Chain A
């Protein structure tokens, strides 16, 4: 079982590394959107600092949303998804492997460049480290919840709008707590509460989202 999990994870990472231009898309989107903001508004340090948490978090969320399609689309189109569903291993475990691969390829790069963008938006050092922690806890939740949405819409042609409608309401709590943590940290207050809440959401999503995704995939395949 763990063997199948590990091999699927490696297969997805290998496929992504052989297709590098696609890999860079969410990262470039993230960096571009955040760096356009100072050009559009008054670029004073205070103004930038006050909107930085929101801007960075919204851009990260949209970058993940745009990359979600990749999670199951190719496997659905070439029939590999059927083979995953016919595996003697629990589909939930295989789905989990695919979601982890997706996070390593989209969420993690965002977390890594985030400090740079935080400094660029003149966030204080404390807030930059909280930004990294909040994204580290929050982006996996985005991938996990996104997987449920994609598995419901993968069979729909141009299901992008439908996907955002399903997924965005579920993303909002993550956005609120993530951005608020950075905001509060910039004011020099404790962010324990927000980060604990994000961690709780991650635990909840990690335990329930793969199950929901597996069920949704079976529904999609049965049409």
Chain B
């Protein structure tokens, strides 16, 4: 009964969502409805100092309101969990654990928010750190983030997120040094 009501409300929501034009507000509104997500990713880093790109695989999870974790499983095991202002780094391969406060690391905080605030559907938070440029249709959109703070700008040119509907499928980071990393996100079709 209750679940029936919920489905109805969801359908109603989808309908109304379709009724409004597709823009960044609409995307954020849809993202804001997702309480938690867990996805697989493959990240490739092209660094000028290396002769070949580095490739990592793992899972990316988000849990409302402010928990984000990135678990690299290969080529080694490293888990980064951000909860509120506190970031914990556990490297199982090396047996190290580090806790840092995002307040003390404004650049890191900005990079975390590019993903976390997006998944949270929190546009004001995103716009606090970045100038946001949005384009594309509902089935294939891109959102380009240009950092505001000088400290972040000196290392990162742009972060470009791409996706379909409420799913982020690709995050590309372009650094001022010319280095580049591309994270491809696979959703389990759920």
Q: Do A and B bind each other?
A: no
Q: Using CB atoms and an 8 Å cutoff, list the residues of chain B in contact with chain A.
A: none
Q: Using CB atoms and an 8 Å cutoff, list the residues of chain A in contact with chain B.
A: none
